[in-house]
Amino acid sequence: MLGDRLERRAAVSLYWRIFLLNAGVLAVAVALLLGPVTVSTPILFGEALVLLGGLAAMLVINAVLLRVGLAPLARLNRAMATADLLKPGTRPTVTGRGEIAALTRTFNAMLDRLGAERAASSGRVLTAQEGERKRIAQELHDEIGQTLTAVLLQLKHAADRAPEPVRTDLHQTQEATRASLDEIRRIARRLRPGVLEELGLHSALRSLVGEFTTPRLSVTAHITPGLPHLDPATELVLYRVAQEGLTNAARHSGATRVEVHLRPMPRGGIRLLVRDNGHGLGEAPEGAGIRGMRERALLIGAELYVGTGPYGGTQVRLDITDHTRPTR
């Protein structure tokens, strides 16, 4: 393009480029007035037309030259307006030399630095969050769980000795207490995926799929055997992204079927897919759940895509290429 060719010339500051462009236009106008163009007194109609035409031509030429010269600055402005630290990889292209090229390089370096700082701070926040979840899950299991278990035993002891009308009420109270205990255990498992630490990612994903499967929602897992071993932090990100994807599908999508895929990518690495047959995202803005997934993906340098699936519905895709290790 003409703008790129002009920018690749000798490194001249933006100020001097604009000054020289205007000086050139004015020099052409003076040369015409001193040469073939003359003005009578009083001015003739034909001469007025020539002067107005020349003025219009100078303005058009000046506008075109300024637009061409400032085009890289407009591209940089658009890149600055659309930059998102949660979606890395989109950087304005540095072309030519001079002030605009230097400004573009500085802007890219600033984005890289901010992205690294955000990843570091997100890592600290997520680590603290996981620690707090673990503590709450432990307290739910040890304190409330044990208390409700003791209440169940006391209710059973009382029901065995109570008269028939009271015994029926006590049995109903037993069932309500047992349901509350099961719900607390389920919440504790979601807060702290103990199966992930004890049995690994494959078993944790299958257990997660089982938790979300209901008569109204069919959830299936498709896990390719023999996948490379991942470090614990990456496994936790995969688990949390799958958990959030299933939560969104169950609560917001209106889906009746969800598929969870964990498989290798053709050029190395691992891909997680969560697909549903719901009504899709539409025009709704990204909520805290999706932004949380982006934070986790940024933490391990993975690529996250959330959008429409190939057959409709919503698709969550997490590609991990830099954290694989040799197979056990």
The fraction of the chain above a pLDDT of 90, given in percent, is 8
Are residue 261 and residue 299 in the same domain, yes or no? yes
Which residue shows structure tokens 């050139």? 24
Are residue 228 and residue 134 in the same domain, yes or no? no
In the prediction, which pLDDT does 322 show? 53
CATH number, position 244: 3.30.565.10
Angle at 62 between CA 57 and CA 67, to 5 degrees: 130
Alpha-helical regions (H) of the chain: 2-7, 14-34, 45-82, 99-139, 145-161, 164-191, 194-199, 201-212, 232-251, 288-299
In the prediction, which pLDDT does 48 show? 67
* Domain range enclosing 283: 195-320
Task: Read off the pLDDT of residues 287-324 as tens digits, 9 standing for 90 and up.
Answer: 778 888 888 888 888 888 888 888 788 899 999 885 44
For the ranges 115-129, 175-189, 248-262, the lowest mean pLDDT is seen at: 115-129
Asked whether residue 184 is assigned to any structural domain, the reply reads yes
Question: Would you place residue 37 in the very low, low, confident or very high pLDDT band (cuts 50, 70, 90)?
Answer: low
Are residue 213 and residue 278 in the same domain, yes or no? yes
For the ranges 14-23, 229-238, 253-262, the lowest mean pLDDT is seen at: 14-23
Are residue 262 and residue 226 in the same domain, yes or no? yes
Whether pLDDT at 81 is above 60: yes
Are residue 57 and residue 33 in the same domain, yes or no? yes
- Select the more confidently predicted residue: 51 or 198: 198
> CA-to-CA distance for 248 and 206, rounded, in angstroms?
18
In the prediction, which pLDDT does 9 show? 45
In the prediction, which pLDDT does 127 show? 73
Asked whether residue 122 is assigned to any structural domain, the reply reads no
Pairing of strands 257-264, 303-308: unpaired
Are residue 199 and residue 241 in the same domain, yes or no? yes
> CA-to-CA distance for 203 and 226, rounded, in angstroms?
14
Are residue 175 and residue 199 in the same domain, yes or no? no
Whether pLDDT at 96 is above 80: no
Asked whether residue 94 is assigned to any structural domain, the reply reads no
In the prediction, which pLDDT does 10 show? 39
> CA-to-CA distance for 108 and 115, rounded, in angstroms?
10
Are residue 247 and residue 162 in the same domain, yes or no? no
Question: Would you place residue 8 in the very low, low, confident or very high pLDDT band (cuts 50, 70, 90)?
Answer: very low
- Select the more confidently predicted residue: 30 or 224: 224
> CA-to-CA distance for 69 and 6, rounded, in angstroms?
8
SS3 275: strand
Question: Would you place residue 275 in the very low, low, confident or very high pLDDT band (cuts 50, 70, 90)?
Answer: very high
Q: Are 205 and 242 in contact (CB under 8 A)?
A: yes
Mean pLDDT estimate for the chain? 77
In the prediction, which pLDDT does 29 show? 66
Of 150, 168, 191, the residue at which a domain comes to its end is 191
Asked whether residue 69 is assigned to any structural domain, the reply reads yes
- Select the more confidently predicted residue: 326 or 268: 268
Q: How many domains does the chain have?
A: 3
Asked whether residue 87 is assigned to any structural domain, the reply reads no
Question: Would you place residue 238 in the very low, low, confident or very high pLDDT band (cuts 50, 70, 90)?
Answer: very high
- Select the more confidently predicted residue: 28 or 182: 182
Are residue 171 and residue 232 in the same domain, yes or no? no
Asked whether residue 108 is assigned to any structural domain, the reply reads no
Whether pLDDT at 230 is above 70: yes
> CA-to-CA distance for 50 and 28, rounded, in angstroms?
14
In the prediction, which pLDDT does 101 show? 75
- Select the more confidently predicted residue: 29 or 185: 185
Are residue 185 and residue 199 in the same domain, yes or no? no
Question: Would you place residue 171 in the very low, low, confident or very high pLDDT band (cuts 50, 70, 90)?
Answer: confident
Asked whether residue 328 is assigned to any structural domain, the reply reads no
Most confident of 2-11, 36-45, 218-227: 218-227
The model's pTM = 0.61
Of 167, 191, 215, the residue at which a domain comes to its end is 191
- Select the more confidently predicted residue: 72 or 212: 212
Section 15-35 average pLDDT: 67
Of 191, 215, 236, the residue at which a domain comes to its end is 191
Longest Cα–Cα distance in the chain: 125
Are residue 152 and residue 200 in the same domain, yes or no? no
Asked whether residue 91 is assigned to any structural domain, the reply reads no
SS3 266: coil
Whether pLDDT at 237 is above 60: yes
Whether pLDDT at 260 is above 90: yes
Are residue 287 and residue 313 in the same domain, yes or no? yes
**Quick one: tokens of 63?**
């506008």
